[in-house]
Amino acid sequence: MWLFDRDLWSEVFNTLGKNIFRTVLTMLGVVIAMIILILLLGSSNGMSNMFQNVFAGTASNSLFVWSQNTSEPYKGFERGRRIQFHLADADIIKEQIPEIEVLAPRIELGSHRGITTVYRNGRTSGSSVYGDYPVIDEVTKKKLVEGRFLNNTDIEASKKVCVIGEETYELLFEKGEDAIGSDVRINGVFFTVVGIYKPNDNIDIDGQNAVFIPFTTFQKAFGSGDRLGWMAIAVREDVKVPVVEQKIKKLLKTKYDIHPDDDRAIGSFDMSEIFNNVTTFTTVLKGVSFFIGFFTLMAGVIAISNILLITVKERTKEIGVRRALGATPKIVRRQIILESIVITVFAGLIGFTIAIGFLAIINGMLGDEVQDGVPLLNPMVSIPQFVISFGLMVGLSVLIGMIPANRAVRVRPIEALREE
C-alpha cells in the first residue's frame, strides 16, 4: 500500500523541505483562506444562535389577532365602525379551526396599548394592564425572575393576583425590595404580586412595563363582561400560519358583518413571517460565508498548484532522470499530487487551529448570554461543517494538484536529459 510507503513520504517531504521558505509562503494562502472560511462560518453560526436565543421565548408559529375599525361599508353598516370581539369568538374559532394548538384570549385595560396608572405606596407607574389566561405562556414565554406566572386556580377563583414586569417593579418598588406578596392598586382595586418577569431580550409583544392579571379577575374588577381584546394563537407545527390567519379572519368577518375585502377591520400579526425572514437571512448568510470561504480556499490551493508547477519546471531534469531510471508516470504523478495534498492539509490544519482558537477566545469573552451590541452567540463551527470544509480542501488539492502532476508526467526523459 503506497500510503504506508516510507520512501514515498520521505521523497515528498524532501522536496517540500528543499525550499522551506517558499513552501511556507505558499501555505500562507491556504492558512489565511482556512481562517477566513472558519471565521465566516463561525460568525454566521453565532448570528444564527443569537437569533435563536432572541426568539427562544416566542413560539415561532404564532399569530396575534385583534379588532380595529372597519374601512368599508357593509350590510347597512357605515365604515369606521369599531369591531369588538367577544370571549365566545375564541371558543368558536378553536372549535372550527382544528389547526390551532393554543388560543389565549386577552383583554387590555384602556385603549389598545393604553397606559393605566398603577399605584403602590405613593409610587406610580404607567403600565399596560392585561387580563390573561395562563396558556398565553405557551405562545409568549415569560422569563420569571421571581415567583410564578398566573395559573388555572387564579382563573377559576378569580384571584386578585398579578405578575409584573421588571420595569414596573423598578418603578413601584425600592431597589432590592421584596415585591412578592405586596399589593399594587389598579383603578382602585388591589392586586397581590405573585411574580416578576424579565423581558426575553426578544421581540417585545407585551412591553417590559406591564401587569398581568387573571382574565376572570379582570372581567369582575373592571366590568369588561365577555369582551375580548386580542387573541394570541399558536398554530400546529405542520401548518402554515398565513393559512390559519385567513381562516380566522374569514370566520370573524362573517360573524361581525365585515366586508370580505375589508383588510383594516381585523388586525393581525404573523410571527412566523419574521421567523422565516430571519431563518432565510441566516441560511443565506451561511451560504454566502461558505461561498466566499470556498473561493478563498480555491485561490489558496491554486497558489499551491502554481508553486508546484514552478517546482516541476525546476525539477524537469530530476524527473527525467527518474523516468530514465524506471519511474512510471503513475509514480511521478502520485508524488506531485501527494505534495499538493500534504501542503494543503498541513496549511489547512494550521489555519483551522488558529481560527478555532480565535473563535474560542471570542466565545469565552461573550459567555452564554446575548450581549448588548454584539450580534453573536457561541460562534463556532460544527463538526459536519469542519468535515465538509476539510474534505473540500483535500478534494480541491487533489484536483488542482493534477495540473502540475500532469505537467510532470509530460516531461519526456529525453528532453530532460538533453545537455545544455
Partner 1 sequence: MIEIKDLHKSYKMGNNSLHVLKGINFKVNEGELVAIMGSSGSGKSTLLNILGMLDGADSGEYTLDGVPIKNLSETKAAEYRNKFLGFIFQSFNLINYKSALENVALPLYYQKVPRKERQEKAMQYLERVGLKPWADHLPSELSGGQKQRVAIARAMAAEPKVLLADEPTGALDSTTSYEVMDLIQKINDEGNTILVVTHEEDIAHMCKRIVHLKDGIIVEDKKIEQVRAEQYV
Q: Which is nearer to partner 1, 84 or 328 (CB)?
A: 328
Q: How far apart are CA 168 and CA 126, in angstroms?
A: 8
Q: CA angle 367-371-373, nearest 5°?
A: 145
Strand partners, 234: 62, 102
Q: Residue 419 Cβ, how far from partner 1 at the closest point, in Å?
A: 6
C-beta neighbour count of 380 within 10 angstroms: 18
User: Cβ 320 to partner 1, closest distance in Å?
Assistant: 8
At 146, list the grid cell: 421571581
Looking at 47-55, 92-100, 192-200, 327-335, which segment touches partner 1 (CB under 8 A)?
327-335
Q: Which helix (H) or strand (E) holds 340?
A: helix 329-366
Rounding to the nearest 10 degrees, give the CA dihedral for residues 235, 239, 240, 242: -50
Cβ proximity to partner 1, 195 vs 320, nearer residue: 320
Residue 414 interacts with partner 1 (CB under 8 A): yes or no:
yes
Does 143 bind partner 1 (CB under 8 A)? Our answer is no
Nearer to partner 1, 261 or 419 (CB): 419
Nearer to partner 1, 253 or 322 (CB): 322
Looking at the Cβ atoms of 14 and 111, the one nearer to partner 1 is 14
Which three-class secondary structure state does DSSP give residue 83? Answer: coil
Nearer to partner 1, 120 or 323 (CB): 323
328 interacts with partner 1 by CB under 8 A: yes
Compute how many residues bind partner 1; rule: CB under 8 A: 25
Q: How far apart are CA 251 and CA 88, in angstroms?
A: 13
**114-140 as b/e, with b when 16 or more CB fall inside 10 Å?**
eebebbbeeeebebbbbbbbbbbbebb
- Cα–chain-centroid distance for residue 157? 41
Site for partner 1 contains 326 (CB under 8 A): yes
303-322 binders of partner 1 (CB under 8 A) = 317-318, 320-322
Rounded Cα distance, 231 and 270, in Å: 12
Cβ proximity to partner 1: between 19 and 52 the closer is 19
Among 157, 299, 324, 360, binds partner 1 (CB under 8 A): 324
Among 7, 78, 237, 369, binds partner 1 (CB under 8 A): 7
14 binds partner 1 (CB under 8 A): yes
Question: Which pairing describes strands 161-165 and 189-198: parallel, antiparallel, or unpaired?
Answer: parallel
Residue number with CB closer to partner 1 (235 or 411): 411
SS3 content of the chain, % helix, strand, coil (to 5): 55, 20, 25
Q: Is residue 330 a contact point for partner 1 (CB under 8 A)?
A: yes
Binding mask 54-93 for partner 1 (x = CB under 8 A): ----------------------------------------
Beta carbon nearer to partner 1, 220 or 418: 418
DSSP state letter for 371: P
Segment contacting partner 1 by CB under 8 A, of 51-59, 194-202, 323-331, 365-373 = 323-331
Please name the residues in contact with 310: beta carbons below 8 A apart, sequence gap of 6 or more.
Answer: none
Phi-psi region of 108 (alpha: psi -120 to 50; beta: other; left: phi over 0): beta
Report the nearest approach of partner 1 to the CB of residue 331 (Å): 7
Site for partner 1 in 331-350 (CB under 8 A): 331
Write out the residues near partner 1 by the rule CB under 8 A: 6-7, 14-15, 18, 317-318, 320-331, 409, 412-414, 417, 419
